[in-house]
Structure 1
């Protein structure tokens, strides 16, 4: 097995929205804002090369939306999904499976593209299956009013229409062991219904793809919960349970949205679970 970090693009979001009820005087210590109160974020995906499978976890916003749409998210830098795959020696046609932690547009927008003949939407990974779960799929296709703007029909329905959509099993408890894709999956419900966090065994280490349970290093303190979360009190409980386990088991946490820190480990302190060490993906994966 080989692991590759794939940067699908960089963007900015309002720091207040990213940290909920936490005052700016606190969160700006780790996530400094610009003059418009926007903080640096990224769409860091993970590519798993395992035998005859090439699995991509999440895929960023994509590039099919209008300039007006992208203007809300202040793109910066020159990373793209295609460019990052090419730098690793791959093409989208090589991908066998696209695993989506959840169906918010910044995690699955790259799944679908406007075709080159400009006649409609099509899957961007023509040889891949797209993996979600039934509970989250229903949540996304019949969205509540709070999340409706995050679940874009053009990102979601073409996967089903293509016949390439598959669903993982849903566990009786929090963790699905040895899923269909060969890794464990932690299910969490605070951010959105049945978000899935891959837990990958790699060279004696456990790598956890954190998605939106822990967007950045700055979100380590328990009350630092995004304003986007549908059930923030549940997120707080899920974070506490997971971070205590991560400190005990010495997990490596792969951060999807932290523009400046790729992988971290954590430790228990008198103030709770805090940062232990910061690593590059190359350091951990090689």
Structure 2
């Protein structure tokens, strides 16, 4: 097995929205804001090469939305999904599976592109299965008013129409062992219904793709929960459970949205689970 970080692009979001009820005087210590109160974020995806399978976990916002749409998210830097795949020696047609932790636009927008004459949509990975789960798919295609703006139908419905959609099994508790994709999946319901957190055994290490359960290093303290979470009290419980496991077992936490910190480990302290060490992906993916 080989692992590759794939940067699908950088953007900014309002720091207050990213940290909910936590005062700016606290969260800006780890995530400094610009003059517009926006903080640096990224869409750091993960590519798994395992035998004949090439599995891409999440794929960023994509590039098919309008300039007005992207204007709300302040894109910065030169990274893109296509270029990042090329840098690792791959192209979209090589991907056999696209695993979507959840269907918010900044995680699945790269799944779908315009067709050649921009009259309709097509999948960006024509040879891949796209993986979600039945509960989350229903949640996203029949969205509540709070999340409706994050579930864009043009990112979601063409996947089903293509015939490439697959569903993972659902666990009896919160952990699905040995899934069809070759890794375990932790299911979390605080951010959105049945978000999936991949847990990958790699060269004797446990790599956890944290998605929106832990967006950045700054979100390590339990009360630091995003304003975007639909069930923040549940996120508190899920974070506590997962971070205790991570500290007890020296998990390596791959951060999808932290623009400046790629992989971390955590440890128990008097203040709770806190940062132990920060790694570059090339230090772990050797």
Task: Give TM-score, length-normalised by structure 1.
Answer: 1.00
2:112 aligned with 1:109? no
Instruction: Report the Cα distance in structure 2 between the residues aligned to 1:277 and 1:16, rounded to whole angstroms.
Output: 26
Q: Give per-residue Cα distances to partners, 1:200-229, cap 9 Å, x unaligned.
A: 000000000000000000000000000000
Q: Which residue does the alignment assign to 1:234?
A: 234
Partner of 1:81: 81
CA deviations on 1:167-195 (whole Å, 9 max, x unpaired) are 00000011000000000000000000000
Deviation at 1:115, TM superposition (A): 1.1
Partner of 2:281: 281
Q: Distance in 1 between matches of 2:6 and 2:110?
A: 12
Q: Note the alpha carbon deviations across 1:19-78, whole angstroms, 9 max, x for none.
A: 000000000000000000000000000000000000000000000000000000000000
Quote the Cα distance in structure 1 between the aligned partners of 2:253 and 2:244: 13
Note the residue ranges of structure 1 that are not aligned, 5 or more in a row. Answer: none
Shift of residue 119, structure 1, vs aligned partner: 1.9
Q: Offset of 1:108 from its aligned partner?
A: 0.1
Q: CA RMSD in A?
A: 0.3
Distance 2:258 2:106 in 1: 13
Equivalent positions of 1:88-237 (< 5 A) are: 88-237=88-237
1:54 counterpart residue number: 54
Q: Displacement of 1:116 after TM fit?
A: 1.6
| Structure 1 residue ranges (4+ consecutive) displaced by more than 3 angstroms after TM superposition | none
Moved more, 184-193 or 116-125: 116-125
TM-score where L is the length of structure 2: 1.00
Corresponding position: 1:256 with 2:284: no
Distance (whole Å) between structure 1 residues aligned to residue 98 and residue 166 of structure 2: 10
SS where residue 163 of structure 2 aligns? Answer: coil
Partner of 2:67: 67
Q: Which runs of 5+ in 2 are unaligned?
A: none
1:117: Cα distance to partner? Answer: 2.0
Q: Tell me by how many angstroms 1:118 deviates.
A: 1.7
Give the total of aligned pairs.
286
